[in-house]
Structure 1
């Protein structure tokens, strides 16, 4: 434990030392901050000298000489006095302030030229290409990425629902596998002790296999297979008798064992262990206990894969159910309307029949009456 703490402390110290900025880096950051404050935002050292980032050492020297002549404090002071004297003569305080600003600017120009002419240029180009850290009260720090709520929830879902769920499934599968192996060993030892007939016979047959039977190469193996087939055909022709079904020892020799949790385990002579259960109908069923029967969990069994599939299936079933329900309701309505129309039609038919019957009776009566009069 102490060694782990000491190693963690040493690693933290080394990480802080490596991650901290050097003095040259601090100077570059400070100078860049001052240049942007006086010259304008986004002004680089190359812009201050009036050259390109691809300039060589001689071009940087020429640019520095040319720029130093224009930014020399004496020249800037004289130019300031001339410009201000057009309206009124500048005061001594204004002249001193202009001279101080010019001298500071000229000093920064010299430091910038020294950085670009020395080994600090490579470091400056690195920060120029990949970004400069910002000043945050106590030092220069890079602006950290601050994810939103959706990004955090998505990351947690991927981490917990994917990797974390898979670890939980794997540990559960491993624990169940160990449980089944332990119960199989317990049932075998309780039923047959340290000697199981089926396992002993198979192990003895595999252990005492003569070296002559083992084929040396493919050709000898094929020859042996052909000879064995010929011998089997000859013996089958000589002894042609009706086959009798002989029950195996595993079917005859079976023992029941009560486990610690009260479950009944059946062990046969071959070493197979079965779990005996009685269903609701009273029928006894046996289930083979084997560690290979447990499927090993995969990444597709995690919530990261199963939850979208489950949501997709629910959406699809609801959409299809609605589509199937709407045409199913329409025929019922149509049947009701047809039934109502048929009832109305029958009622109208009855009325028409009655009317026709009445009219017909009147007509027949009149005919008969007319016939008598005639």
Structure 2
């Protein structure tokens, strides 16, 4: 409804602007120039010195008297006297003409319009290249900000859908009493569930999204085990996100990083380039110790596989014949260095268990 009203008003302005003629534009210029030179609020009749109901003969008589006052020969050295004298002649000519006077009386009673059409302003105030570029930058940046705002609202609606669907799948959304039957959020403490939510509302053909519900909060799980709140994915728009400001800031920070350190330190702190803080997962010392102890007490599948491989290698070494060169070199080397025989490694489950214990102690 607002869009329709805006279009109607815009169409009205366009029709009004197209209705102005060349003579109307001349009157607009004279009104602006007369107020700038003689004072605010002065009109054609006051400037000539007659009443709005004056006849043509009265206008001619008043014009001759006023022209003698503003004649350049009678006012030597007066600034802009020639322009004022020429303007008086044009005004008197409009008032003496029946058609021109009728057109001026329309604007005299209703007022001169502030918006006179783009053609009028362009013909009188031709913009330079710099003005055109500034106008285009402002216009495109405003349009970009509008698009960012629309995307932000769209993302918020999507996030609300995923949150409600995830809570509903986790059993957090309940139904109130029979008074209104609306869904409300029931707080659940210490509850964590993984749920899958359709990407498209009401359809599973578009795929699903895995989410984690902890209490009433909804998170997105990552491959490294961290959880990211889904509510923080939508960032509100700002002026710094528009294309021109973001391009300017990126070029500024690149140039700042290339400056010598002495010059960087002399620049105020708010103008210095700030590196984004890295979000690392920091654990307490107690949590690190608990995780280390649990890793030792509960071997991972990779540790088990390595120990099985180590057991196989040890069994293959111990099962070699005694007469083999490897065995004789090992035994001879031990006897020469220590002078005593080493105990043979026991092959079997008991030996493998002892080796695992020794590996954990190390």
TM-score, normalising length from structure 2? 0.38
Structure of higher CA gyration radius: 1
TM-score, normalising length from structure 1? 0.37
Instruction: Give the helix-richer structure, 1 or 2.
Output: 1
